Structure 1
Amino acid sequence: MGILQETKNPALMEDVNMLTNVTLPAGVAVHAAPGPRYDEILTPEALAFVAELHRRFDGRRVELLAARDARQKRYDAGELPDFLPETRDIREGDWTIAPVPADLLDRRVEITGPVDRKMVINALNSGARMFMADFEDATSPTWDNMIDGQINLKDRWHAELTYEDPASGKSYRLSENPATLLVRARGWHLLEEHVTVDGAPISGGLFDFGLYVFHNAATVVAKGLTPAFYLPKMESHQEAKLWDDVFSHAEGKLSLPHGTLKATVLIETLPATFELNEILYAMKDHIVALNCGRWDYIFSYIKRLGKNPRFLTPDRGLMGMGAAFLRAYSLLVIDTCHRRGAFAMGGMAAQIPNRKDPEANAAALAKVKADKEREAGDGHDGTWVAHPDLVPVAMEVFDRLMPEANQVTRRRDDRITRDMLLEVHEGERTEAGLRENIRVGVQYIEAWLRGRGAVPLYNLMEDAATAEISRAQIWQWLHHRASLNDGRKVTPDLFREVMADEMARVRDALGGEVYDAGRFPEALELFAEMSLAKDFAEFLTVPAYKLIK
């Protein structure tokens, strides 16, 4: 039986209620062993809070995921995304979101990363204005990663956040002026199977959001700051409205004034781009910004339009933000946000320092600088970086081109059309591009299965979007028997041949002992099965989650 057909995760089929010194609320079960300080996070009160979120909102979540599937069937039949006629009045209306809190007014450089303790401290100390602690794409969702992350963020607000590195003996502690913290919960499609409510696994997003807000929101507010979140992978304004209702419910239960909790919504799916105004309107009391999640956006473009030969993509490296659908979508985000009083955040600079090759490092930093100059020049109010060494590069650009706190008063009028939002990038498909997708995708999945969600590969910091783009593009090329620039068709046999060769090269580069000690067989099977599947699977992280031990 293939990995995609697995329905149960043996690693999660342990005895329930394994927490010590915790009396679980009725209907709640924990299918995982306790760890140090876990009882501080998984308190009866906190679990009752997230259980209520599940009971109140999970039915709508499931319905909205079913609506995604139904929409995809229409795309597969030839329908194209478009602006919604039934919400024209929202797009054409004269309205704005609620005022943005003071501590979220200047977001010129944000750093993102996983929620492990040392990374949290380093990111908060990086000099960036904001740090997005990522429970989603940059974190492999092992039980320990998820709960340790909650402990680390709780310590940010309730205790001294320190870390002693056992390998180096180096001590890490929070600076006097740390970055503002924002928390990215998991998307609506992901589950937290270690916790069930009335026999059903809880939504990963509700779990992450619920635990963090329960333990920390009141303390954050007492310090005069804003409990702030990033919300990923949404595809419609109905999905945004669900999050808005979750926020309002949490505020009521925690005795917080309406509008206390604030969100930045990642626009990283193709359908969401046609509902920017509607998403802002649905969350207008709670939203402060939209963010251009460029890597996942490429994945979504391929996923949603993948069966249509009109949208056959070139090599991943040829799809940059300066052209075609990526350019159009970023300009539309800026114009829409500024019209509504929201911030438009730019995309990720994923480069990491190459200290062994100064020339290559300088070239990489030049690319980062040029990318940030484009963003600031276009009107973005801030940007993302993946490594602390990139903070000064991005900061210099935005300080120079955006001396004010933001550019929300700057308006564009680019008249972005549906055809512009669907325009495919020009360029060739090459064997090198095929090889890169295999090499990077498999190595990322292997690391993810070992519990690492942010993985440095070939001088870039990769997250789950990397593997998603890689297998999506290969699936699309296989589905259409796409031609490479040398005339060969991309066939299953060619894919298997290149994959075997690439993995031999990876084994040589890593060394046989390291390679054999890893989880490459499972990663290879999953990557191959999803790439060769007749129908495109929505997310690789869903079946991959079944393999985490």
Structure 2
Amino acid sequence: MTEACSTLRESLVLTEALSPEQAEILTDDALCFVASLADKFASRVPELLAAREVRQQRIDVGTLPDFLPETESIRQGDWTIRGIPSDLQDRRLEITGPVDRKMVINALNANVKVFMADFEDSFAPAWPQVVEGQRNLRDAVNGTISYTHPDTGKRYQLNDNPARLICRVRGLHLTEKHVEWQGKPIPGALFDFALYFFHNYRRLLETGSGPYFYVPKLQAYQEAAWWSDVFSFAEDEFGLSRGTIKATVLIETLPAVFEMDEILYHLRDHIVALNCGRWDYIFSYIKTLRNHPDRVLPDRQVVTMDKPFLNAYSRLLVKTCHKRGALAMGGMAAFIPSKDPAENQQVLDKIEKDKTLEANNGHDGTWIAHPGLADTAKAVFDRALGDKPNQLHISREQDAPITAADLLAPCDGERTEAGMRHNIRVAVQYIEAWISGNGCVPIYGLMEDAATAEISRASIWQWIKHQKPLSNGQVVTKALFEQYLSEEMKVLEHELGADVFARGQYQQAAALMAQLTTSDELVNFLTLPGYQYLP
């Protein structure tokens, strides 16, 4: 460690004592790299977040999102991304999940091409799990990961040909409170990126792969440019050629859909794909257009990818990516298999329909949340791709131009009492799991993560704000929500059992749900107030 690096390292403060296992990951050299990134890039994050708020203020007072006139030359320009490595050319099916040890093994062994190991929406970033997750990924990259179940004694280990590993880091809005830089918590995104890159880039390159990342929650091309600078700095620090680090960016915010060309352009040395992060995108539609009473969404259950505004988003993403030589990844199927054969067939039929729409739109691959759905989802893309690794040949150039009006189109459908009550139960159960340290939870046949819970609570907030009526004629007010919340807590206690309910943090979750749903201003992310509950 150089003297300059040692000085930087001293400016980095860990607020927790390290166990021997944690010290394997948080070595002085690793923390020196973290400090170097923080020194160069941490101060720019608040500026990027502030720019989001300025834009949102304009939208709140009536200016609808649109394509940027000042970057038209980028959209009209004849350019492509640097290229896609051979081991990322075929991504017809990806699975995602948190970074606990058993999950990592099972996901890498699933019948998929890629496992996105998640430090973000399906993960509650309690400090022990954050560091343990990095250790699990290091062991997976080295092929040494194994797990023995403490009760059954069953042993889990990697198969001979595991899926390709991509690490999803935290969004720019999240911090890591246990690591301080100049007296402030470090951006969680930098911490996650630094540790995964530092511990794994060499082994990944030796095995013919590379350090690959998923980047979430971007809202503007300036944020993509920031990430490009981070990646380039890391490559230069370790003597790697430009473009060694590759990233897939999730288009999961409404502002970002208007800047896809610009995001690809500013990350052109490093980017390989964009992804339809559909659940967060729906949440962002609500959040971005929160002050617009003509853009209020119906029940979450009917906001499906065949709705005009979502189908336009999917098709525009495909067209934009393929024009620039990037892959266009489809969205998450959050269903989980059912033990009841009839119900399970209904799940598989929904998967078939959803993935067929994506494949027909020209997507190069798609996501699932459970290994039990892999065969069904993969078969759809196997048929669509034939002997090709992807659908980059589908240009959609004959499509009519997709306009801002298409992307912002109001969505039809009912707002129902049953839908509102369902939203309440889902959100409370998810929040309870998250503040208890579990970010990925099966609830009512779906694998819920932060994005789906965000839709549930933000929808009701918007219904209250605009005094929208339900199909039964009742107007949604704070008082009606509080009545339903109280009643649905009794339903949950009955469903879960009194003992489970009493042992959990359901009352704390309900209080947080009420705070988020009845506040005068819409809280940007439930994980921000939720983070205070995590160790």
- For the aligned pair, the TM-score class normalised by the smaller chain equals over 0.9
Q: Equivalents in 1 of 2:498, 2:19: separation in Å?
A: 33
Local SS of the residue matching 2:180: strand
Corresponding position of 1:204: 188
Letter in 1 for 2:361: D
Q: Show the 5 A alignment for 1:400-439.
A: 400-403=383-386, 404-413=388-397, 414=399, 415-439=401-425
Q: Equivalents in 2 of 1:472, 1:512: separation in Å?
A: 29
Corresponding position of 2:90: 106
Are 1:111 and 1:388, in contact at CA under 8 Å, matched by a contact in 2? Answer: yes
Q: CA deviation at 1:33?
A: 3.5
Local SS of the residue matching 2:49: helix
Q: Equivalents in 2 of 1:49, 1:306: separation in Å?
A: 40
Q: Equivalents in 2 of 1:210, 1:458: separation in Å?
A: 37
Question: Deviations for 1:423-466, whole angstroms, at most 9, x for unmatched residues?
Answer: 12101111011111100001000001111011000111010002
Q: Equivalents in 2 of 1:24, 1:30: separation in Å?
A: 13
Q: CA deviation at 1:522?
A: 1.4
Letter in 2 for 1:395: K
Task: Work out which of the residue numbers 315, 322, 332 in structure 2 matches 1:348.
Answer: 332
> Taking every aligned residue pair, what percent have the same amino acid on both sides?
54
Task: Say yes or no: does 1:310 pair with 2:331.
Answer: no
Could you state the TM-score of these two structures normalised by the residue count of structure 1? 0.95
Task: Say yes or no: does 1:328 pair with 2:312.
Answer: yes
Q: CA deviation at 1:479?
A: 0.3
Task: Work out which of the residue numbers 42, 51, 55 in structure 2 matches 1:67.
Answer: 51
Task: Say yes or no: does 1:94 pair with 2:97.
Answer: no
Local SS of the residue matching 1:384: strand
Are 2:8 and 2:35, in contact at CA under 8 Å, matched by a contact in 1? Answer: no
Q: Equivalents in 1 of 2:472, 2:456: separation in Å?
A: 21
Q: CA deviation at 1:31?
A: 1.2
Corresponding position of 1:238: 222
Corresponding position of 1:366: 349
Are 1:107 and 1:381, in contact at CA under 8 Å, matched by a contact in 2? Answer: yes
Q: CA deviation at 1:265?
A: 0.1
Are 1:24 and 1:47, in contact at CA under 8 Å, matched by a contact in 2? Answer: no
Letter in 2 for 1:469: I
Q: Show the 5 A alignment for 1:109-188.
A: 109-188=93-172
Question: Deviations for 1:235-290, whole angstroms, at most 9, x for unmatched residues?
Answer: 00000000000000001112211100000000000000000000000000100000
Question: Deviations for 1:477-498, whole angstroms, at most 9, x for unmatched residues?
Answer: 0000101111110011110111
Task: Say yes or no: does 1:546 pair with 2:532.
Answer: yes
Corresponding position of 1:466: 452
Corresponding position of 1:229: 213
Could you state the TM-score of these two structures normalised by the residue count of structure 2? 0.97
Corresponding position of 1:395: 378
Q: CA deviation at 1:54?
A: 1.1
Q: Equivalents in 2 of 1:254, 1:388: separation in Å?
A: 36
Task: Say yes or no: does 1:457 pair with 2:443.
Answer: yes
Q: Equivalents in 2 of 1:126, 1:266: separation in Å?
A: 22
Q: Equivalents in 1 of 2:254, 2:7: separation in Å?
A: 44
Q: Equivalents in 1 of 2:348, 2:143: separation in Å?
A: 37
Task: Work out which of the residue numbers 476, 484, 488 in structure 2 matches 1:498.
Answer: 484
Corresponding position of 2:431: 445
Are 2:210 and 2:245, in contact at CA under 8 Å, matched by a contact in 1? Answer: yes
Are 1:24 and 1:44, in contact at CA under 8 Å, matched by a contact in 2? Answer: no
Q: Equivalents in 1 of 2:446, 2:453: separation in Å?
A: 13
Q: Equivalents in 1 of 2:436, 2:16: separation in Å?
A: 17
Task: Say yes or no: does 1:81 pair with 2:82.
Answer: no
Are 2:8 and 2:36, in contact at CA under 8 Å, matched by a contact in 1? Answer: no
Residue range with higher mean Cα deviation, 331-340 or 32-41: 32-41
Q: CA deviation at 1:23?
A: 12
Task: Work out which of the residue numbers 502, 508, 526 in structure 1 matches 2:512.
Answer: 526
Corresponding position of 2:176: 192
Task: Work out which of the residue numbers 281, 287, 300 in structure 1 matches 2:284.
Answer: 300
Question: Deviations for 1:278-317, whole angstroms, at most 9, x for unmatched residues?
Answer: 0000000100000000000000000000111111111111
Q: Equivalents in 2 of 1:80, 1:473: separation in Å?
A: 19
Q: CA deviation at 1:36?
A: 4.7
Letter in 2 for 1:421: L
Q: Equivalents in 2 of 1:110, 1:293: separation in Å?
A: 13
Task: Work out which of the residue numbers 248, 258, 271 in structure 1 matches 2:242.
Answer: 258
Task: Say yes or no: does 1:26 pair with 2:7.
Answer: no
Are 2:93 and 2:366, in contact at CA under 8 Å, matched by a contact in 1? Answer: yes
Q: Equivalents in 1 of 2:17, 2:475: separation in Å?
A: 50
Q: Equivalents in 1 of 2:297, 2:227: separation in Å?
A: 33
Q: Equivalents in 1 of 2:338, 2:20: separation in Å?
A: 36
Flag structure 1 segments of 5+ consecutive residues without an equivalent: 1-21
Corresponding position of 1:283: 267
Local SS of the residue matching 1:172: strand
Residue range with higher mean Cα deviation, 137-146 or 24-33: 24-33
Closer, same or farther: CA 525–23 of 1 in aligned 2, 3 Å: farther
Corresponding position of 2:3: none
Local SS of the residue matching 1:216: helix
Q: CA deviation at 1:159?
A: 5.0
Q: CA deviation at 1:24?
A: 9.6
